[in-house]
Structure 1
């Protein structure tokens, strides 16, 4: 079973750290799972123009194929203007509408204000559901204040939520099989 974490931020480290922590929690639950982090800041994903995937650059093709090859996906995004990043939305726009059929998805959001904790429910989850994903009930919202100066998550409540999300993702995937 392959779990792909997707960090939808083009700057900073907090989003990728949050997603990575979910991947490591899943690996602790089941050491046999294969995990990988796709950090969008390492890819030049082209803007969607409505062409077939083969018309885009190698980074775009590789990123899309990684999404399609995974069994479980963990999407992370910081909150910009009360929404997910344009980079993450653009990546998702490259997919066909049934791309996540039989896939399980989880969400990790980070932001500077707790006023945006519902972005996962109202911005990202509808897109994932449209793509036919089975979405976890639990999301993880991490405030900037939950990170220390070394970008480590020290808040025990957030650490527990990360473990619960990882456990739920694995259980959902086993239930679909």
Structure 2
């Protein structure tokens, strides 16, 4: 099984990328043979210029291949002006709506205040539901103040977030187990 994290942040390094990488690492322990990461910051120049899904640059195609091949997707975004990042939405806009059907997703976000946490339920969950993705019930929202910057990189400094991530891990593994059971019965 494989897992991919996608960070919608336009910065590098970013708090969102640290959070997504942490979740991917925790979920992947013992359950996944392959993990990968897609950074919107890394493909931003090509992505911003891409308008036709039939002629996308190779680096975006490679990112889509990772997403399509994954069993679990961890989608993280910083919250800008009350919404997820525009290039993250553009990334999903160019993707075939049927390509993610049946996958499992974890939703995560970072932002300046608690008010932004609603993005997870009111924007990210509906976006992924459009693609036919099963989102786990728990989400994780982390405020910018829950990180510290050391040697140019961010590190999560709030230990309470670990309990939320533990819940996400349990729910993800539970849903994967159930979806595998349903798939084998249907076959």
Rg larger for: 2
Q: 1:73-88 counterparts in 2 under 5 A?
A: 73-88=73-88
Q: Partners of 2:31 and 2:131 in 1: how far apart?
A: 28
Correspondence 1:129 to 2:129: yes
Q: Which residue of 1 aligns with 2:24?
A: 23
Which of the two has greater strand per residue? 2
CA positional deviation for 1:65:
1.6
CA positional deviation for 1:152:
1.3
Structure 2 vs 1, CA of residues 115 and 41 (structure 1 numbering), >3 Å: closer, same or farther? same
Query: Secondary structure at 1:61's aligned position in 2?
Result: helix
Q: Which residue of 2 aligns with 1:45?
A: 47
Q: 1:54-65 counterparts in 2 under 5 A?
A: 55-65=55-65
- Decide whether the 8 Å contact of 2:50 with 2:57 is kept in 1: no
1:56-80 Cα distance to aligned partner (Å, 9 max, x none): 1111211112111111000010000
CA positional deviation for 1:168:
1.5
CA positional deviation for 1:170:
2.0
Structure 2 vs 1, CA of residues 132 and 32 (structure 1 numbering), >3 Å: closer, same or farther? closer
Q: Which residue of 2 aligns with 1:6?
A: 6
Question: Number of matched residues?
Answer: 174
Q: Partners of 2:95 and 2:4 in 1: how far apart?
A: 16
Q: Partners of 1:86 and 1:115 in 2: how far apart?
A: 19
- Decide whether the 8 Å contact of 1:140 with 1:161 is kept in 2: yes
- Decide whether the 8 Å contact of 1:23 with 1:166 is kept in 2: no
Q: 1:70-149 counterparts in 2 under 5 A?
A: 70-149=70-149
Q: Which residue of 1 aligns with 2:179?
A: 176
Q: Partners of 1:40 and 1:97 in 2: how far apart?
A: 19
Q: Calculate the TM-score normalised by the size of structure 2.
A: 0.87
Structure 2 vs 1, CA of residues 90 and 3 (structure 1 numbering), >3 Å: closer, same or farther? same
Q: Which residue of 1 aligns with 2:166?
A: 163
Structure 2 vs 1, CA of residues 134 and 69 (structure 1 numbering), >3 Å: closer, same or farther? same
Query: Secondary structure at 2:61's aligned position in 1?
Result: helix
Runs of 4+ in 1 over 4 A off after TM superposition: none
Q: Partners of 2:128 and 2:32 in 1: how far apart?
A: 26
Query: Secondary structure at 1:169's aligned position in 2?
Result: helix
Q: Which runs of 5+ in 2 are unaligned?
A: 181-187
RMSD: 1.5
